[in-house]
Chains A and B, each alone.
Chain A
């Protein structure tokens, strides 16, 4: 039972580069979420998706793009990475109950 996976687990990129973080879940959960976690801020919602082809902004969406062409995948793209986007990114999913299941996270460093 793979559950929810994220790749890469660690990424270093340069300012201005485009980078995509992948999220894959095997449960066929309808809802998926992207969060970033920073010291002093806790977990903040970037984008969420209620189903394939349905996405919406969360609290901090600027600089990020998402897509969801398949239920199981929810990639997050930083179109032009900035140092302020250095963070730990967590993907999560739920079937519609309120408990969210989180992936292991991606540690992104923008130099």
Chain B
């Protein structure tokens, strides 16, 4: 079983639509959770961290369910500029220097259509 699983998509949605991405992780020792965004042929960049209480950043809302080991990202009022691949990322706490390792999902591709 993969440590972090995502629906690969692609998700093709019209401008203005609301779209939700889901992610599951297998290691219950996972401590921290993130969504990264990766544009085509570019490097990944942090979109937002995911907190247990849920958090919002403008049109983006992230949720975490530790009991179900499930993370979600909701994008409201989709823009053309939201087209990208969204990576679900988990930090599993190791001791020592390994504690900053991140485990990445394969990503979900979003295309927002005019």
Are A100 and B102 in contact (CB-based, < 8 A)? yes
Asked whether any CB of chain A lies closer than 8 Å to the CB of B97, the reply is: yes
Query: Looking at chain A, what size class is its interface with the partner chain?
Result: 20 to 34
Are A48 and B101 in contact (CB-based, < 8 A)? yes
Asked whether any CB of chain A lies closer than 8 Å to the CB of B1, the reply is: no
Shortest Cβ distance from B26 into chain A, in angstroms?
15
Which residues B71-108 have CB closer than 8 A to chain A? 87, 91, 96-98, 100-102, 104-107
Are B87 and A42 in contact (CB-based, < 8 A)? yes
Instruction: Find chain B residues with CB under 8 A from A58 CB.
Output: 101
In the complex, the chain A residue whose C-beta lies closest to that of B33 is A98
> Residue A42 contacts which of B42, B91, B107 (CB distance < 8 angstroms)?
B107
Are A54 and B100 in contact (CB-based, < 8 A)? no
Which residues B23-42 have CB closer than 8 A to chain A? 32, 34, 41-42
Docked Cα-Cα span, A90 to B104, in Å, equals: 13
Are B45 and A102 in contact (CB-based, < 8 A)? yes
Docked Cα-Cα span, A57 to B51, in Å, equals: 29
Asked whether any CB of chain A lies closer than 8 Å to the CB of B43, the reply is: yes
In the complex, the chain A residue whose C-beta lies closest to that of B88 is A42
Docked Cα-Cα span, A105 to B44, in Å, equals: 10
Are B43 and A102 in contact (CB-based, < 8 A)? yes
Q: Which of A33, A44, A90, A98 has the most chain B CB within a 10 Å cutoff?
A: A98
B residues with CB within 8 A of A: 32, 34, 41-46, 49, 87, 91, 96-98, 100-102, 104-107
Q: Which 7 A-B pairs have the closest CB atoms?
A: A50-B97, A102-B43, A42-B106, A43-B104, A99-B46, A42-B104, A31-B100
